[in-house]
Amino acid sequence: MSRRVAAVVVTLASIVGLAVADDGSTPDLEGVLGPRARALPAPAATLRLVWLDPAGVAIGVGGLARDEARSLLARMGASVSWRRGSPREPARPDEVRVILVDRAALDPHGRPILGATPPRFDVAPFVWVHVPSVRAVIGLSPSGSRSADDLVSERQLAIALGRVVAHEVVHALVPSVPHGTGLMSAAFTPRQLTAAALRSDPEVGLAVRAALRGEPSLPPAATGVVAATAAGKELVP
């Protein structure tokens, strides 16, 4: 898929029934441009994230991807700390594991799934990011070949991964937050994954800060498969 095709639509579905992960987890994702000029709220608590890349599929871009996710979550009032984890270490209840998967995924309609978040967790929350799907959507080789990708392409991949991560982390923290606009849109176009800025709605920030304070949230509006797509054209702020 070429980055020149502005109408390409990528489905990012919060899916509970798709088998895209060994744990039975599944997809979800989004994006939209447009910075929002406002003062950042005071952080509610530290959000502890763990970066797990068992296949080394994000080597070279992981640092910038984590910075992008941290920046987006900070705009919602979350003070983020990252650490690199090991696939064999036990899950910690006070952390969200971000697991990079070296495998593409498609929804039942054949549309790329970029990220996955289960609706509930037995021990500790986790999300999946399908790196080959993200690469393909922004016009890079899904296999990770770097022959002519150059630094610009690698930066775009890092930004795109960070946005997928931030979106999925919100779902892991607050399952009741529905898809909407900005960071919680249901789908990304290539432009939205790599644009200069990505906004989030104030309501999402309120929900994230409440979750970090340990306040109860409303139950999800629906159970089962929840899928959404954006059709036909680029979204605009």
**What CATH number corresponds to the domain at position 165?**
3.40.390.10
In a domain, 125, yes or no: yes
SS3 category, 154: helix
Helical H runs in 75-149?
A: 131-137
- Sign for the CA dihedral angle at 81, 154, 104, 178 comes to positive
Looking at the domain assignment, is residue 22 inside a domain? yes
Element housing 66 (H / E): helix 62-74
pLDDT for residue 173:
93
Give domain status of residue 229, yes or no.
Answer: no
Is position 1 within any domain?
no
Alpha-carbon distance of 32 to 49, in angstroms, equals 23
pLDDT tens for the 237 residues of the chain, in order: 444 433 334 444 443 333 343 444 334 443 333 333 344 445 457 899 999 999 999 999 999 999 999 999 999 999 999 999 998 999 999 999 999 999 998 888 888 999 999 888 888 999 999 999 999 999 998 876 655 457 789 999 999 999 999 999 999 999 988 888 878 878 888 888 898 888 888 899 999 999 999 887 655 444 432 222 222 233 222
The reported pLDDT for the residue numbered 145 is: 61
Does residue 223 sit within a domain? no
Domain that holds residue 169: 10-212
Q: Considering the domain boundaries, does residue 28 fall inside one?
A: yes
Total domain count, the chain: 1
Residue 177 located in a structural domain: yes
On whether residue 228 sits in a domain, the answer given is no
Tell me the pTM.
0.76
> What are the backbone dihedrals phi and psi of residue 204, each rounded to the nearest 5 degrees, phi first?
-65, -45
